[in-house]
Structure 1
Amino acid sequence: MESNEESPRADIRAIEQDCARLIARYANLNDAARWEELAALYAEDGRMARPSAPDQWIVGRAAILAAFQARPSRVTRHFCSNIVIEVIGLDEAEGESAMLLFTDAGAPKVGSFHDRFVRTDDGWRFSERRGSLIF
């Protein structure tokens, strides 16, 4: 049985793992062009800014889905690493991750994501996902 000190640490580790899994799931769904499932990873009022346009927010799950559906078809493979999740509370967390993107349309791109997560009735979701490109 866990001590009282261990229980909060276990909660934090579980939140970190759930949010890191959300980042990986996002990359896999993006590469598979499974837009409905990808958009469902956002809170209903979540917002997203693509790495190529980090100051242009797309707000709301429906608008995020429409933005992905409007993209030209391409083959991609995203690699996410250096994932660090900071737990703010039992229902809120923030994270940062590095991203490497390969496409069939050009040179690889290196960037990062800064995320905010919220726990919903359906589990952890992105409340905000902001990408940026380094090179």
Structure 2
Amino acid sequence: MPGKTADELAIRELTAGFNHLGSRKRNSELAATFVENGVFVARDKRFEGRSAIEACFDPQQLGAPVNIGFGVTGRLGTTVHATTDNLIIVEGDEATQLSFMVVFRQVPREVVSGGLVIATERFEDRLVRTDDGWLFDPRIMTVLQTNAAPDSSLQQVGVVESPLE
């Protein structure tokens, strides 16, 4: 089915774009991957609307970047994402996606021995087809595992109740 394949590819590209835009601190464009009143849930916090989503990716909101000896590093710009196992179900102009992500993030050595946080995350997404293509609403992130110290700013978040279930 060419339509189904094209929809799934577009959703995968949207997901990859979300990751790249976040890593490059292009918060306005990242927020535009959501419908106007879209919802992003992460770290047990709910951000509703594009302006709130944009603000949640502000480096000051996530913890100020730090210099660990080779330039300013911090939460987003020092992150590599690998999204995998996307399970996409398209039903007309709506879709759901379940995916997993492995995240590698450079941090101060005081946060984690060796200065590298590794986390696994689950994303539960609902998407809608719009005139601008597929967009998220909502996107729910749950950290499954991390080597970050529980008392650090990168602590593991609790399980978030999913509106998709």
Give the TM-score of the pair, scaled to structure 1: 0.85
Q: Which residue of structure 1 aligns with residue 132 of structure 2?
A: 122
Q: Distance in 1 between matches of 2:83 and 2:121?
A: 10
Aligned to 2:56: 67
> Which one scores higher on RCO, CA 8 angstroms, separation ≥ 6?
1
Q: 1:18 matched to which residue of 2? A: 10
Aligned-residue identity in percent: 33
1:86 CA drift (Å): 0.4
Q: Tell me the amino acid that sits aligned with residue 133 of structure 2.
A: G
Post-superposition CA distance 1:73-114 (Å, at most 9, x none): 42111110111110021x110001110111112420011100
Once residues 79 and 31 of structure 1 are traced to their aligned partners in structure 2, the CA distance between those partners, rounded to angstroms, is 12
In structure 1, what residue type is equivalent to 2:83?
A: C
Q: CA deviation at 1:71?
A: 2.6
1:47-86 to 2 correspondences below 5 Å: 47-50=39-42, 52-53=43-44, 56-69=45-58, 70-72=61-63, 73=65, 74=74, 75-86=78-89
TM-score normalised by length of structure 2: 0.70
- 94, 98, 107: which one pairs with 1:96? 98
For the residues of structure 2 that align with 1:85 and 1:133, how far apart are their CA atoms?
A: 20
Instruction: Write 1 or 2 for the structure with the bigger share of strand.
Output: 1
Structure 2 portions without partners, runs of 5+:
66-73, 108-115, 146-165
**Unpaired stretches in structure 1, ≥5 consecutive residues:** 1-8
Query: Following TM superposition, where does structure 1 have runs of at least 4 consecutive aligned residues deviating by more than 4 angstroms?
Result: none
More helix by share: 1
Deviations 1:28-62 (A, max 9, x none): 11111111111111110110011x32xx3211111
- Secondary structure at the residue paired with 1:45? coil
Q: Deviation at 1:134?
A: 1.2
